[in-house]
Amino acid sequence: MSRNNAGLSAERIITEALRIIDGQGLRRLTMRRLGDALEVEAMAIYHHFPLGKEQLFEALVAYISDVSRGASGGDGDEAQESTEDDGEGADDSSWDRRLRDWAMDYRRALLDHAQALPLFIHRRPDTEAALRTRELHYAAFAEAGLSGADVVQAAAALDSYVTGAVIHEVRANGLPAREPAAIDGRFPHAAALNGVELDPERRFTDGLDALLGSLRP
């Protein structure tokens, strides 16, 4: 029995790491546990990620951010296709529909891997897929009538919006509603509105509509 060639690959490592993160949390993703899950010694991972855990983290951010993945290799457990056009490349829908689709897909990807979100703060994917996404954003805003720095600013606003909305949603889910007892007369508005819940999906699309509307020249 050769104990070598366990069939390890970067993709297999990434998806297994994501499974651990999603199921047990970011802090429980350790090289040793990841090795166990892959039925391999932890040190084998370093052959595919020579720079260690930091390199794995960057790959995870790039993997999650690549919302357009799914045409070819993925044995992933989630459908990542928008509606029904399977073909890659050119999308002939309107600029705001393209941006809306991207925003919805990206939000879903972030929510599906909410435990990985801390990785996103100080890391940004430097891949061709990320560049494709940037091109998609710029082209759409150019088509909307913007130009120059306005395009960059609009793309930044869109990215900021999705990130901020998702984090707000995640933070809200974490903490249970305050018991009314703790909110006394000094906080009348907070007391009156305590427990008011908003439909997060609707909140997101409403805010998205408002943003895209305000960005059009």
Partner DNA sequence: ACCTGAACACCGTTCAAGT
The residue ranges that bind DNA (CB under 7 A) are 2-8, 28-33, 35, 40-44, 46-48, 52-54
In the complex, the smallest distance separating the C-beta of residue 216 from a copy of itself, rounded to whole angstroms, is 12
Q: Cα separation of 107 and 159, whole Å?
A: 10
Closer to a copy of itself by Cβ: residue 6 or 210: 210
Binding site for a copy of itself (CB under 8 A): 114-115, 117-124, 126, 131-132, 134-135, 138-139, 142, 148-149, 151-153, 156-157, 159-165, 167-168, 170-172, 174-175, 178, 182-183, 186-190, 193, 196, 198, 203, 207, 210, 214
Closest CA to 144 of 206, 85, 97: 97
Closer to a copy of itself by Cβ: residue 34 or 116: 116
| Region of 41 on the Ramachandran plot (φ > 0 left; ψ -120 to 50 alpha; else beta) | beta
Closer to DNA by Cβ: residue 27 or 202: 27
Closer to DNA by Cβ: residue 5 or 72: 5
Instruction: Give every CB contact of residue 195 below 8 A, 6+ residues apart in sequence.
Output: 177, 180
Which partner, a copy of itself, DNA, none, binds residue 30 by CB below 5 to 8 Å per kind? DNA
Closer to DNA by Cβ: residue 43 or 131: 43
Contact 117, 166 (CB under 8 A): yes
CA angle 144, 146, 149 (to 5 degrees): 145
In the complex, the smallest distance separating the C-beta of residue 20 from a copy of itself, rounded to whole angstroms, is 16
